[in-house]
């Protein structure tokens, strides 16, 4: 094999390596092609969406059944409006609840669905009525510190709590 043949093989190998890196980067960033199946869109309103991002997974029992399509603000109520693309293979009852949950202690946020018991199912364009906003770690720490300061101040003044 001549010099040109070896250079061609090395160039092809480098291109395959770059293509592999691009593929891994897209998968890690959740930007790769999803299931590709047909979806229907529903929306949910939250008082606080925390760090939720578009393309975040929508999960039921740990299984991804959709993705967050978009996030906006309702100008009338100032609530976060999250549009969800759910795979058509999954039909959820109308009284399904949506929660913003976190993977691990400080991981990415996702939407967790808890199916209800209604006979009627969610349809395209419906709004999920029961929602629970994201738990913001900074707010929890602030509440804890405030309650500790209040109890310390009460104990220092000699009053019983």
Domains identified in the chain, total number: 2
Alpha-carbon distance 97 to 105, whole Å?
Answer: 22
Element holding 86 (H helix, E strand): strand 80-87
The length of the chain is 161
102 and 66 belong to one structural domain:
yes
- Torsion region of 39: left, alpha or beta (phi above 0 gives left; psi -120 to 50 gives alpha): beta
The model's confidence at residue 31, banded by pLDDT at 50, 70 and 90, is: low
With a cut of 60, say whether residue 156 has pLDDT above it: no
Task: Report the percentage of the chain scoring pLDDT > 90.
Answer: 26
Dihedral sign (CA 97, 109, 36, 71): positive
13 and 72 belong to one structural domain:
no
50 and 116 belong to one structural domain:
yes
54 and 114 belong to one structural domain:
yes
pTM over 0.75: no
The model's confidence at residue 18, banded by pLDDT at 50, 70 and 90, is: very high
pLDDT at 45: 92
53 and 124 belong to one structural domain:
yes
Pairing of strands 80-87, 39-46: antiparallel
Domain that holds residue 6: 1-32
pLDDT in tens, 77-90: 999 899 999 998 88
């Amino acid at each position: 094999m001549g010099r040109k043949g070896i250079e061609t093989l090395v160039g092809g190998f480098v291109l395959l390596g770059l293509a592999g890196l691009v593929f891994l980067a897209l998968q890690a960033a959740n930007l790769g092609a999803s299931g590709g199946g047909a979806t229907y869109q529903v929306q949910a309103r939250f008082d606080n969406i925390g760090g939720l991002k578009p393309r975040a997974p929508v999960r039921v029992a740990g299984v991804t059944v959709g993705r967050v399509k978009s996030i906006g603000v309702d100008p009338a109520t100032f609530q976060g409006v999250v549009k969800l693309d759910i795979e058509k293979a999954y039909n959820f009852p109308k009284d399904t609840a949506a929660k913003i949950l976190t993977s691990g202690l400080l991981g990415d946020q996702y939407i967790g669905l808890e199916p209800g018991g209604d006979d009627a199912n969610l349809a395209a364009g419906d709004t999920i009525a029961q929602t629970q906003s994201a738990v913001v770690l900074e707010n929890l720490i602030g509440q804890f510190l405030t309650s500790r300061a209040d109890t310390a101040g009460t104990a220092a003044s000699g009053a019983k709590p």
